[in-house]
Structure 1
Amino acid sequence: MESDSAMGAFPLLTTPIESNYRACTIPYRFPSDNPRKATPTEIAWIDLFRNSIPSFKKRAESDTTVVDAPTKAEKFAQRYADILDDIKKDPESHGGPPDCILLCRLREQVLRELGFRDIFKKVKDEENTKAISLFPEVVCLNDDIEDGGKRLENLVRGIFAGNIFDLGSAQLAEVFSRDGMSFLASCQNLVPRPWVIDDFDTFKAKWNKKSWKKAIIFVDNSGADVILGILPFARELLKCGTQVVLAANDLPSINDVTYPELIEIISKLKDESGKLIGVDTSNLLIANSGNDLPVIDLTRVSQELAYLASDADLVILEGMVGFSHNPADFT
């Protein structure tokens, strides 16, 4: 991860940032709560992270890059469980009170201390290979939709379907391990509109004006998520003349795509002339967000991303990064 001196606030946050932005918007506790006693919300989140330990341990056990991986995986499971127990007993321990960012950071810290740098590498590579092979078909299916509004809705549905490939969730990890995941099947199984939060018509009206000069898209998971969900959408923006910046993590975390991995994926998808299924990519940029967790604090992004985002007029935070924990207020 980049040093603190190389990190800064995302430039489009509403100022003053201190009173307008919180990285974790879920109310884990209130001023009236006893600081020495975990709140029901904190306990629920601690239990959620505890439930993910077996799937992380299983991935760590099979990490061939780590000597004596099974033994170290057991140490990870025990150490992280002990930390969660400590926080449940005393929410101010281990840098608390706890929130999603702290619980993620502590998990990554234990893994890295034991030598585990990327326990999801194998499954990421496998899913990237599958998704790359499907990319032309998915793009052609979108291009065949003549009505612009319906094509846009199909692209957005593709983003939703792709984001199901999130192995940070214990339930989704179990489903993936048992049944695998099919992007096209996920598209078909999405609930119809109206969605729980449904601003699509407003977004479509703005899209039809083709008014965006530069878009920043914070990407999330490897595989179908970024390749079959985000990239067809980004390609459509490029067709509209928008410059697109894809921001990816600096270091591995769960199955999130990293900056080096995304560069490699894009290079494999481009043809000999550097095009993405017929679309020029000279306006497509890949940026290192500086982040090393599956959630993001927008007061800490890389200087590179901050510079590129300074004149952006569209920002998209996709997946858990944007919607479950960190909805941001932008200027």
Structure 2
Amino acid sequence: MESSSAMVPFPLLITPIESTYRPCTIPYRFASDLPRKATPAELTWIDVFRKSIASFRKHAELDDSVSDAQARAAKFSERYGKILDDLEEDPESHGGPPDCVLLCRLREQCLRELGFKDIFKKVKEEENAKSLTLFEQVVKLFDNTEDGGKRLENLIRGIFAGNIFDLGAAQLAEVFARDGISFLASCENLLPRPWVIDDLETFKLSWMRKSWKKAVIFVDNSGADIVLGILPFARELLRRGTQVVLAANDLPSINDVTYSELVEIISKVKEMKDGREYILGVDAKNLLIVNSGSDLPVIDLSYVSPELAYISNDADLVVLEGMGRAIETNLYAQFKCDSLKLGMVKHPEVAEFLGGRLYDCVIKYTEVVP
């Protein structure tokens, strides 16, 4: 489903439009802070976004769909850097005070105003192609685990391993540029449990005794994240009889998978048999792909596409995946149904806020009792 209408609140939020919903998890400022003086948290996060400029500029320079890409990339670096300088001087400039949503939005605006629509397109295509060649092998590894609880744990670990592919985190962007990251090795090398937020055992208990009728999954990155992490998990839900809705970005942002890209990926993992579509032997008739309406690597659930709102209205499980959607935003969001937040901590500043470790994992499960 493509989105073409005005945005609406996500209907499963307990308080979708009242003042109690705040998408940003980390408070950058409090009511007692001086309005025109940047807080220590604001200065810290402005610096985090400043450190990302070099990687974004490099990818922009290589964008052959834009004429004068190098000059425009330099202009992006200068323009976004100046915006961050302004916010340091006056946090109420540029629509501030800043939070992670605003800082992401301003960066995307700078890129788009200079003609850059999708500077990570090539690396996304490469990672998607590479991951698709491993899809069947990875799914068979999961399927060969007979114990249901252990299989679920392996699927969750696969989501965390896939979520490492994040070009919005400066340190990881450097690693990918140098030598990439192996998915299977990442599964084996996750930080040991207990993780910084670790509701895995609680989720296992619900998994073994419940049957959700519809799950909405807000997906994150291209490559191993969506192909080797989320799709095997979604396939397992389909096998259990759950209708699965995958909600992907409207427009490109960093290496996040978009709606149109996800449609193409799904077409490559499906197979036809007797007039029906399957994903490695599992009936895929209950798999739906929806445009979330978002154009950022984070999400404010006050504004989603009406198509997503309509199709989500009767869901009984909401899954938010990735550091941007599940940790930096919406970690404390409350829903009318069961919810699962999954992501890897890829910024030291987030690790410090949560009291965890860099590359720690978050699995936060909240069950709504009727």
TM-score by length of 2: 0.87
Unaligned runs of 5+ in 2: 337-370
Hey, what does 2:156 align to over in structure 1?
156
CA distance in 1, matches of 2:298, 2:111: 17
Hey, what does 2:237 align to over in structure 1?
237
Give the CA deviation at 1:26. 1.3
Q: Does 1:326 align with 2:330?
A: yes
Unaligned runs of 5+ in 1: none
Give the CA deviation at 1:16. 6.6
- Describe how 1:60-71 pairs up with structure 2 within 5 A: 60-71=60-71
How many correspondences in the alignment?
A: 330
2:290 to 287, 290, 294: 287
Hey, what does 2:262 align to over in structure 1?
262
- Describe how 1:1-331 pairs up with structure 2 within 5 A: 6-15=6-15, 17-273=17-273, 274-320=277-323, 321-327=325-331, 328-331=333-336
Report sequence identity in percent. Answer: 72
Q: For residues 53 and 126 of structure 1, do their structure 2 counterparts lie closer, same or farther at Cα, with a shift above 3 Å needed?
A: same
1:164 match: secondary structure: coil
Q: For residues 150 and 196 of structure 1, do their structure 2 counterparts lie closer, same or farther at Cα, with a shift above 3 Å needed?
A: same
CA-atom RMSD, angstroms? 1.2
The structure with more helix, counted as a fraction of residues: 1
**Amino acid of the structure 1 residue aligned with 2:137:** E
Q: For residues 16 and 186 of structure 1, do their structure 2 counterparts lie closer, same or farther at Cα, with a shift above 3 Å needed?
A: closer
**Amino acid of the structure 2 residue aligned with 1:295:** V
**Amino acid of the structure 2 residue aligned with 1:221:** N
1:73 match: secondary structure: helix
1:20 touches 1:329 (CA, 8 Å); kept in 2? no
- The structure 1 segments of at least 4 consecutive aligned residues displaced by more than 3 Å after TM superposition are none
1:9 touches 1:299 (CA, 8 Å); kept in 2? yes
1:215 match: secondary structure: strand
Give the CA deviation at 1:271. 1.5
1:42 touches 1:98 (CA, 8 Å); kept in 2? yes
**Amino acid of the structure 1 residue aligned with 2:278:** K
Summarize deviations over 1:279-298 as a string: whole Å, max 9, x none. Answer: 01000000000000000000
2:235 touches 2:282 (CA, 8 Å); kept in 1? yes
**Amino acid of the structure 2 residue aligned with 1:165:** F
Give the CA deviation at 1:136. 0.2
CA distance in 2, matches of 1:89, 1:16: 33
